[in-house]
């Protein structure tokens, strides 16, 4: 099937979880990660074209529910996403999401999609995109601290995009590490289970932290991080949630997506409000330097931003063309006469 044009919409294409998984397998997981990495990098090159605002968050003692909107003047996108660390103990996902893409000229939706799976892919792709600009060029070993739902995607993105071949894995729950080792069997990665975060970072040129507890937690202490390392801190995303000791931040050159959001939700919430950071889009466009020397510490303080979701939804929509991997969702009232919505209702009255 071919997706309908925005001006001739009688239905909204909807990508279910089942169809998203079918699409990923049709494209191939690593090609999908590479394609998303390139699509997100292209969006960062167009960063000034996007509307930008911190996400709208409703915090509770148990987690957060957020809306993440943006527009490039042609397409509008938003994502609904939650983060509830306690869910894991109840057999539920910590993070769930769905997203919508719309045509700015008409305001009509042109895609509705699950984004629990897609967010895992776009988060991994964003990490790999940042590391492509910031990590040591000869990096082959990554420490993966936090081996939950995001971990395999991160590992495979770094393999596909940067050539990482060895993962040193640690989680406070050994079962999570065993899960990750099993899932990555046959992937071409060597995965080494580690008994502590200190053991995991030994010999690693890249350190990815991805933990979920909603609290200030020192996953990496200052003495664990030496020179010539890139830190990919992706497990934050809310006030009161950090993973790195403050002294690591003070020794690092810090790169962020959108400072107004990261200063509230990221690792840099521990620092003074005027502590210098570099926006990643400036590195992508060449307006600012990425890694300046092999021996420095670079830190990508990633909290996720709506531009990445916009790019991911656009990428998925492109891949849907000439496939049947979507459902036709009857979401829009579409009367023959746009002024006669009531008449549409009357004509739909069931016969007595």
Q: Which residue has the higher pLDDT, 215 or 227?
A: 227
Instruction: Report yes or no: 280 and 257 within 8 Å, Cβ to Cβ.
Output: yes
Supply the pLDDT for residue 234: 93
Q: Which of 150-164, 235-249, 303-317, 336-350 is predicted least confidently?
A: 235-249
Average pLDDT over residues 214-235: 86
Supply the pLDDT for residue 86: 87
Supply the pLDDT for residue 66: 94
Q: Report the distance separating Cα 349 and Cα 300, nearest Å.
A: 57
Supply the pLDDT for residue 115: 98
Q: Over the stretch 49-67, which tens digit does the pLDDT of each residue have?
A: 999 999 998 989 888 899 9
Which are the contacts of 278, defined by CB distance < 8 A and separation ≥ 6? 253, 254, 255, 256, 288
Q: Report the distance separating Cα 241 and Cα 267, nearest Å.
A: 8
Supply the pLDDT for residue 63: 86
Confidence of residue 232 (pLDDT cuts 50, 70, 90): very high
Q: Report the distance separating Cα 16 and Cα 29, nearest Å.
A: 17
Average pLDDT over residues 118-141: 97
Decide if pLDDT at 195 tops 90. yes
Supply the pLDDT for residue 334: 85
| Superfamily designation of domain 136-304 | NAD(P)-binding Rossmann-like Domain (3.40.50.720)
Decide if pLDDT at 3 tops 80. no
Decide if pLDDT at 214 tops 60. no
- H runs (alpha helix) in the chain: 17-27, 29-45, 116-134, 151-162, 174-183, 197-201, 246-251, 259-265, 280-285, 306-320, 341-347
Cα 178 from chain centroid (whole Å): 24
Supply the pLDDT for residue 113: 98
Average pLDDT over residues 231-249: 86
Supply the pLDDT for residue 313: 98
Tokens 């990482």 locate to 164
Q: Over the stretch 56-110, which tens digit does the pLDDT of each residue have?
A: 989 898 888 999 999 999 999 999 999 888 898 899 988 899 999 999 999 999 9
Average pLDDT over residues 147-161: 97
Query: Which one, of 103, 119, 8, 2, lies nearest residue 55 by Cα?
Result: 119
Q: Which residue has the higher pLDDT, 1 or 112?
A: 112
Instruction: Report yes or no: 130 and 300 within 8 Å, Cβ to Cβ.
Output: yes
Decide if pLDDT at 349 tops 70. yes
Residues with a known catalytic role: 237
Burial 105-128 (b: 16+ CB within 10 A, else e): eeebbbbbbbbbbbbbbbbbbbbb
Confidence of residue 9 (pLDDT cuts 50, 70, 90): low
Q: What percent of the chain has pLDDT over 70?
A: 95
What percent helix, strand, coil does the chain show, rounded to 5?
Answer: 40, 25, 40
Q: What percent of the chain has pLDDT over 90?
A: 83
Write the DSSP symbol of residue 322: T
Supply the pLDDT for residue 207: 98
Q: Note whether 11-117+307-347 and 136-304 share their fold.
A: no
Decide if pLDDT at 217 tops 90. no
Confidence of residue 336 (pLDDT cuts 50, 70, 90): confident
Give the global pTM: 0.94
Average pLDDT over residues 297-317: 97
Q: Which CATH number fits domain 11-117+307-347: 3.30.390.30, 3.30.1780.10, 3.40.50.360, 3.40.50.80?
A: 3.30.1780.10
Supply the pLDDT for residue 154: 98
Question: Where are the domains positioned within the chain?
Answer: 11-117+307-347, 136-304
Mean pLDDT value across the chain: 93
């Amino acid at each position: 099937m071919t997706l309908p044009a925005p001006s001739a919409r009688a239905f909204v294409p909807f990508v279910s979880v089942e169809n998203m998984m079918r699409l990923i397998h049709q494209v191939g997981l690593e090609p999908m990660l590479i394609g998303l990495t390139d699509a997100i990098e292209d969006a960062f090159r167009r960063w000034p074209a996007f509307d930008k605002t911190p996400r709208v968050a409703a915090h509770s003692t148990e987690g957060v529910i957020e809306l993440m909107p943006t527009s490039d003047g042609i397409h509008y996108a938003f994502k609904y996403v939650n983060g509830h660390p306690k869910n894991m103990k109840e057999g539920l996902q910590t993070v769930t999401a769905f997203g919508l893409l719309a045509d700015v000229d008409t305001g009509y939706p042109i895609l509705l999609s699950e984004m629990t799976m897609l967010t895992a892919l776009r988060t991994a792709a964003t990490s790999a995109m940042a590391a492509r600009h910031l990590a040591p060029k000869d990096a082959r070993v990554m420490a993966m601290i936090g081996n939950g739902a995001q971990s395999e995607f991160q590992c495979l993105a770094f393999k596909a995009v940067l050539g990482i071949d060895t993962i040193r894995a640690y989680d406070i729950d050994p079962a999570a590490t065993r899960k990750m080792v099993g899932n990555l069997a046959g992937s071409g990665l060597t995965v080494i289970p580690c008994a502590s975060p200190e053991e995991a970072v030994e010999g690693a040129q890249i350190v990815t932290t991805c933990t979920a507890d909603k609290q200030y937690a020192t996953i990496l202490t200052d003495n664990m991080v030496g020179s010539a390392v890139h830190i990919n801190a992706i497990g934050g995303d809310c006030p009161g949630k950090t993973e790195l000791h403050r002294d690591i931040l003070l020794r690092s050159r810090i790169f962020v997506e959108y400072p107004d959001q990261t200063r509230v939700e990221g690792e840099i919430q521990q620092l003074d409000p005027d502590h210098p950071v570099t926006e990643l889009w400036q590195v992508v466009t060449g307006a600012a330097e990425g890694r300046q020397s092999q021996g420095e510490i670079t830190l990508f303080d990633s909290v996720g931003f709506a531009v990445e979701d916009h790019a991911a939804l656009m990428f998925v929509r492109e891949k849907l063309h000439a496939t049947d991997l979507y459902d036709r969702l009857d979401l829009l009232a579409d009367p023959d006469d746009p002024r006669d919505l009531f008449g549409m209702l009357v004509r739909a009255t069931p016969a007595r």
